[in-house]
Amino acid sequence: MSTENPQAGGSATGPLLGLLPTVGAPAPERADAARNRRKILDAAARIVAEKGPDAVTMNQVAHASCIGVGTVYRRFGDVAQLLWALLDDRERQFQEAYMSGPPPLGPGAPAAERLDAFLDALVDRVGEQREILLAAHSAAPRARYHGGAYGVMHTHVALLIGQLRPGSDSTLLAHLLLAPFSPDVMHHLTVEQELSADRLKAGVRELLRLRS
């Protein structure tokens, strides 16, 4: 995913959209380079859909896309970066929803309602992409925290917490609130513990209200 770092500041509503980078927004590139990038991502997506993310290798993607393996490596570096790139389209949709979509997830609702809606949507987001998120996380465990997606989510949550609890250490609290959504934790809860999305959402809300 994009490695741009979001700038702090702004509000949790419309102006935030102009301050934070859109996740995965590609740099300008030649038409042929853009076509190759699309072919590589489409080929990787087919492999994931048919065999799961563990089956993805740079050689298989090169073969499936009819593009030289050297080009695949130059564009994406390794399997972890390729898997993260596959998540960009879905991440952009999610980001647009909570930054500029309809309330309560988007602007226009009270901060508490927006935070609840965001965490509910994040449960669904991680659940839908659980296998590929886990594969990317396993290949590069710290990559999540240096990507644009996490930075934008963190800033959004910190702004909402700041509205709810003025004077709190919202930057730290946002990190702690997002920690349970790490792919390995969510895999443990949804697969090994067999917890439903509804139970996870209810649990997150209960956790937030323990000391209220």
Q: In terms of pTM, does the model score above 0.75?
A: no
Whole-number Å distance between alpha carbons of 186 and 145:
16
CA atoms within 13 Å, Cβ hemisphere of 175:
6
Bond prior to 104 in cis (omega within 30° of 0): yes
Q: Is the pLDDT reported for residue 199 higher than 60? A: yes
Q: Is the pLDDT reported for residue 10 higher than 50? A: no
- The pLDDT of residue 85 is 83
| Distance between start and end Cα atoms, the chain | 36
Instruction: Give Cα separations from 140 to 10, 27, 83, 145, 173 (angstroms).
Output: 31, 23, 11, 10, 24
Q: Encode pLDDT of 177-197 as tens digits.
A: 999 999 999 999 999 999 999
Max CA pair span of the chain: 58
The token duo for 92 is 């952009």
The dihedral of CA 20, 165, 179, 90: what is its sign?
negative
- The pLDDT of residue 6 is 33
Q: In whole numbers, what is the pLDDT of the chain averaged over residues?
A: 84
Q: Encode pLDDT of 126-179 as tens digits.
A: 988 888 888 778 777 887 888 778 899 999 999 999 999 999 999 999 999 999
- The pLDDT of residue 11 is 35
DSSP alpha helix (H) spans, 101-181: 111-128, 130-139, 143-146, 148-164, 170-178
CB-CB contact of 169 with 22 (8 Å): no
Whole-number Å distance between alpha carbons of 130 and 11:
30
